[in-house]
Structure 1
Amino acid sequence: MPDEYKNRHGRVEQYLHWKICKHFYVNTYSYWYEHHPESVTEVQDFTILWDYPIHTDRTIQVNRPDIVIKDKKNNTCLLIDMSVPSDRNVSSKVYEKLAKYKDLEIEIEKMWHLKTNTIPVVIGALGLIKKGTNQYVEKIPGDPSLQEIQKIELNSTEQ
């Protein structure tokens, strides 16, 4: 069961990273499943961190979002964190993600002087989403498709 969760989670993260990289003209792969994210990707005024711990002045327990996008041009930072819980836990997971990264948001704003927001991407194990999930996904550069995320998640679940 833990491996199944990691597989679903990892495949969706891979797709999101691919869409973000394509948005910033970093990626040359034709298909998301050929994409192999690097820990740090820099292009122009943007830095994309993949599963990379954020070192802060103060000890923060939760300091490793799935994807971080630093936009130095617009002075913003996005913390994207993915979860694939059981369908009954979808709503609570969204709120948990937002609360979990609040301290890190505050620290990043102090250290990097960037307006920081957390984007929870929570898709139930059977594809269920919370109302308003599309509004979070729309904030991710590269215009990832919520339907594609659901399809990847469902297809990555072993039968």
Structure 2
Amino acid sequence: MAAQEQVHPTRQLQIKIHHTRDDPRYRLCKDAPETVKHIISECKQLAGNAYTERHDHVAGVVYRSICDEYGLNKPQHWWEAPVKVNKNDHAKTLWDFHIRTDKHVLANQSDIVVVDKENKRAAIIDIAVPNDYNIARKEKEMFRNIALLENRLKNAGK
């Protein structure tokens, strides 16, 4: 709860409130003040691994629910990575899959694609785990990217 209330004992807080520190920079990247916001969602040092791991765990919860719905095999444990292609007679799922299009689309790497064979429909699922202040911007960006990808796929089918 301390992190949520922005009162976790970060270096920035120690300087502003307690006056016990001189350098506010985050000890890992030394690029910005050490704040909860920076640690949770802005640090470039954490972007490659920690944020990706958090994203994949959230996407894994969604993936396992989809597998349950369609009777697909799923990873036994939450920390296990899903298989790239999972299918049965009813559906097929693609995990972290590069979707090929006739023209280049910037966001063509979807987290989960579900192909419902019985209803002849497909769903592209993209997961984001933004910080509170970034939700609206991320949502807008994701809708734009999915619309571009959807448009390319529809045009390719004609």
Q: TM-score, normalised by structure 1?
A: 0.62
1:47 aligns with 2:115: no
Candidates 86, 93, 103, aligned match of 1:58: 103
1:17 aligns with 2:63: yes
RMSD of the TM alignment (CA)?
A: 2.0
Say whether the 8 Å CA contact 2:86–2:93 is kept in structure 1.
yes
Residues 47-98 of structure 1 deviation map (CA, whole Å, 9 limit, x = unaligned): 2110010111222221111001122332322111111122100112111100
Say whether the 8 Å CA contact 1:18–1:35 is kept in structure 2.
no
Give the corresponding residue for 2:52: 6
Q: TM-score, normalised by structure 2?
A: 0.63
Change (3 A) 1:10 1:29: closer
Structure 1 position 29, deviation (Å): 5.2
Q: Comparing both chains, which one has the higher relative contact order based on Cα–Cα distances under 8 Å and sequence gaps of 6 or more?
A: 1
> One-letter code of the match for 2:107?
V
Residues 100-138 of structure 1 deviation map (CA, whole Å, 9 limit, x = unaligned): 12121112223457xxxxxxxxxxxxxxxxxxxxxxxxx
Structure 1 residues 119-158: aligned runs within 5 Å: none
Say whether the 8 Å CA contact 2:110–2:126 is kept in structure 1.
yes
SS at match of 1:77: strand
SS at match of 1:8: helix
Q: Which one has a bigger Cα radius of gyration?
A: 2
Where does the alignment leave 5 or more consecutive residues of structure 1 unmatched?
Answer: 114-159
Candidates 147, 152, 155, aligned match of 1:102: 147
Distance 2:136 2:59 in 1: 20
Where does the alignment leave 5 or more consecutive residues of structure 2 unmatched?
Answer: 1-45
Distance 1:93 1:76 in 2: 26
